[in-house]
Amino acid sequence: MPGNVILVGFMGAGKSACGRVLARRLGRCFVETDDMIVARDGRPIPEIFRQEGEEAFRRLESEALEALRLKSDDIIATGGGLPCRDGRMEALRTLGMVVWLRGDLDELLARARRGGHRPMLDNRGAPEIEALYRAREPYYARAHLTVDTVGQTVDQVVHRIVTALRESHARV
Ligand code: S3P
């Protein structure tokens, strides 16, 4: 197993914030699939959505997922929709320990809206966003570890992941 830690979860779950702190704490490199896509494509994500639509973005995600096979011992934050296609959670699980940062939908959305433009939230009302979240949950739930982020600080979430990593190393 390549020994990465892969963070999954809905927009606003704290994948980037927790991933960055976790990487620093463990002395590992931090990688974001969204950054890989932007670096390779040359356009910001909202621009890709605007010019070519969601399906084109999902194809770029598949390429990023392929490229992750070269990584080992990294901390990887995935985009909120990346794991939510058939086969993708299985692919992520072969790369290392997959951690779902689970949250309360209202809290996630408040955080996501503070943190820059998310094209998936454009032109969607509350019921549609809730439906999107519910449709994604079964994918996230296939993670090796679920960490509840409700009312937790970044440090508390990171501590929880570090503890789980130590326990899993103790078992092998
Ligand atoms: C998306 C989430 C975004 C980004 C893109 C699509 C989604 O990442 O990949 O806008 O489908 O949920 P974050 O989860 O970091 O916001």
Are residues 116 and 44 in contact, defined by beta-carbon separation less than 8 angstroms?
Answer: no
**Is the per-residue pLDDT at 12 higher than 90?**
yes
| Residue in the structure block whose two tokens are 């390549």 | 2
The confidence score (pLDDT) of residue 97 equals 97
Q: Taking CB atoms and a 6 Å cutoff, what residues make up the pocket around ligand 1? A: 11, 15, 34, 45, 79-81, 118-120
Q: Distance between CA atoms of 152 and 150, rounded to whole angstroms?
A: 5
Other CB atoms within a 10 A radius of the CB of residue 108 amount to 23
* Cα 45 to ligand 1 centroid, rounded to whole Å: 9
Q: What HEC string does the chain produce?
A: CCCEEEEECCCCCCHHHHHHHHHHHHCCCEEEHHHHHHHHHCCCHHHHHHHHCHHHHHHHHHHHHHHHHHCCCCEEECCCCCCCCCCHHHHHHCCEEEEEEECCHHHHHHHHHHCCCCHHHCCCCHHHHHHHHHHHHHHHCCCCEEEECCCCCHHHHHHHHHHHHHHHHHHC
Nearest CA to ligand 1 atom 10: 118
The confidence score (pLDDT) of residue 116 equals 85
* Cα 158 to ligand 1 centroid, rounded to whole Å: 21
Other CB atoms within a 10 A radius of the CB of residue 103 amount to 24
Are residues 96 and 4 in contact, defined by beta-carbon separation less than 8 angstroms?
Answer: yes
pTM: 0.97
The confidence score (pLDDT) of residue 171 equals 67
Q: Which atom of ligand 1 is nearest to the CA of 9?
A: 14
Beta bridge partners of 8: 100
120: Cα separation from own chain's centroid = 15
Q: Which atom of ligand 1 is nearest to the CA of 61?
A: 9
* Cα 161 to ligand 1 centroid, rounded to whole Å: 22
Among 16, 31, 32, 34, which residue has the most ligand 1 atoms within 8 Å of its CB, making it the best to mutate?
34
Condensed to tens digits (0 to 9), the pLDDT of residues 91-150 reads: 999 999 999 999 999 999 999 999 889 999 999 999 999 999 999 999 999 999 999 999
